[in-house]
Amino acid sequence: MRLTSKAIEVVAPGSLVLETAYLDLSALAWGAPDQTPVLALHGWLDNAASFVPLAPFFQGRRLIAMDLAGHGQSAHRPPGTHYHFLDHVQDVVAAANALGWGRFHILGHSLGASVALFVAALIPDRVLSLGLIDGYGPLTAKPEDGPAQAAESVTRMLALPGRVSHQYPDIETAALARSRAGDLRLEDARLLVARSLRPNRGGFAWRSDPKLRVRSPFYFSEDQVAAYLARVLCPVQLVLARRGYLVDRPQMAARCACTPSLQIHHVDGGHHVHMERPEAVARALAGSFPVCGERPA
């Protein structure tokens, strides 16, 4: 991947709707249909616009950044249903099928990176490579904590119908709130909330499904996650942000040891390092998604 300032051309994305058998998933698209297929998966409560700063550095690829179910402009799951981690995995496979992609690459951030790993574990013959950003597997819990977590989840889910969606007078106020809620620059928050808001009573409310904020009733154990990671056969490039969420997490060493093909790169920045420093992240992932005529790194 050649990255020079003169070579980078900012191209506005197109819009797609990926029609699966059970729900429609919205997406942003760059590149031509005959170029290297790369499916991009964003983080929790983000959306496809998360990849807008990074997209110019992936010229020569057909980059499709999808809104995960319940996020951005994608459809919500039916009332009363949870957003189980494996449901996102199924959605990604369904999206690739809707695109007509037999084999493809995956670019993932945070939750999207974790989903990407499980997709590669379940359909290893179809995933060519992974480029992951500050995410390496789902949240886990000890089995003995399961009942209490499930009880909390059920209680919160049943209380949702009575809750009123938070209202913002304008997009800038929502962007400020999003920026303060996490490690996110205001300019990046503006980019995300523009796709995450809907008009409501003279102001704006979140498009995202409120059920996404309900704690999952089920978490994998570390042993279960290790079993999935061991099935990832394709090359994996992982960018770790030096101020990201994975810094000093004790389980990371054991997880990384499960994937022999893993290469790790450290980049200065916070959890949304791909928005803060897109060129540096693209350099770290160079070769993960080769265009025609290039050799994989």
**How many other β-carbons are positioned within 10 Å of the β-carbon of residue 236?**
26
For the chain, the average pLDDT equals 91
Per-residue model confidence (pLDDT) at position 163: 78
Residues 6+ apart with CB under 8 A from 171: 190, 193, 194, 197, 204
Tens-digit pLDDT profile for residues 32-85:
999 999 999 999 999 999 999 999 999 999 999 999 999 999 999 999 899 999
Backbone angles phi, psi at 234, to 5 degrees: -80, 165
Tokens of residue 136, six digits = 């390496």
Q: Specify the 3-state DSSP secondary structure of 273.
A: helix
- Measure the CA–CA gap between 125 and 107, rounded to whole angstroms: 17
Tens-digit pLDDT profile for residues 98-135:
999 999 999 999 999 999 999 999 999 999 999 999 99
Q: Over 70: is that where the pLDDT of 11 sits?
A: no
What average pLDDT does range 139-165 have in this prediction?
90
- Measure the CA–CA gap between 164 and 156, rounded to whole angstroms: 14
Q: Over 50: is that where the pLDDT of 6 sits?
A: no
Domains and CATH numbers, the chain: 5-141+219-284 (3.40.50.1820)
Tell me whether residue 125 is exposed, middle or buried, using C-beta atoms within 10 angstroms of its C-beta: 0 to 12, 13 to 18, 19 or more: exposed
Tens-digit pLDDT profile for residues 187-234:
999 999 999 999 988 899 999 999 999 999 999 999 999 999 999 999
Q: 248: left (phi > 0), else alpha (psi -120 to 50), else beta?
A: left
- Measure the CA–CA gap between 113 and 132, rounded to whole angstroms: 5
| Percent of the chain's residues with pLDDT above 90 | 83
Taking a C-beta distance cutoff of 8 angstroms, is the pair 51, 65 a contact? yes
Q: Specify the 3-state DSSP secondary structure of 271.
A: coil
pTM: 0.93
Per-residue model confidence (pLDDT) at position 8: 45
Residues forming the active site: 110
| pLDDT tier at 176, thresholds 50, 70, 90 | very high
